[in-house]
């Protein structure tokens, strides 16, 4: 058996029995992402830095969460200089 739990991406191919666990993890990651942005608010931060801070795999999972947060509770996606890495790219901040 593959050690499924350590890699969220495996949930996609792991089938029905693991869907609930996968959703639970996604929700807690979303919470962590939101808390991090709130701690840094109103400073913008990019997805790569969020992933690094939260020790998540960089790329789509974090981006999906920032998309989900954008537009609610003052969260806003923008193209700006990230406060942590200094690169101008897609960032999210809370006003
Ligand atoms: Zn950054």
pLDDT of res. 18:
42
Q: How much distance in Å is there from the Cα of 19 to the middle of ligand 1?
A: 31
Q: Which of 75, 9, 4 is nearest to 36 (CA)?
A: 75
Q: How much distance in Å is there from the Cα of 90 to the middle of ligand 1?
A: 9
pLDDT tens, per residue, the chain with 95 residues: 555 555 555 444 443 334 444 556 778 899 999 999 999 999 999 999 999 999 987 666 899 999 999 999 999 999 999 999 999 999 999 99
Report all structural domains of the chain as residue ranges with CATH numbers, in order of start: 11-94 (1.10.10)
Q: How much distance in Å is there from the Cα of 34 to the middle of ligand 1?
A: 15
Q: How much distance in Å is there from the Cα of 45 to the middle of ligand 1?
A: 5
The pTM is what?
Answer: 0.71
- What token pair was written down for 65? 């969460």
Q: How much distance in Å is there from the Cα of 39 to the middle of ligand 1?
A: 15
């Amino acid at each position: 058996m593959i050690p499924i739990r350590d890699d969220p991406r495996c949930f996609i191919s792991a089938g029905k029995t693991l869907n609930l666990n996968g959703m639970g993890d996604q929700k807690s990651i979303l919470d962590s992402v939101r808390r991090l942005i709130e701690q840094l608010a109103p400073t913008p931060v990019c997805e790569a830095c969020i992933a690094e801070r939260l020790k998540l795999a960089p790329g789509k999972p974090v981006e999906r969460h920032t998309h989900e947060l954008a537009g609610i509770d003052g969260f806003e996606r923008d193209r700006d200089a990230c406060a942590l890495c200094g690169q101008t790219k897609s960032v999210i901040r809370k006003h």
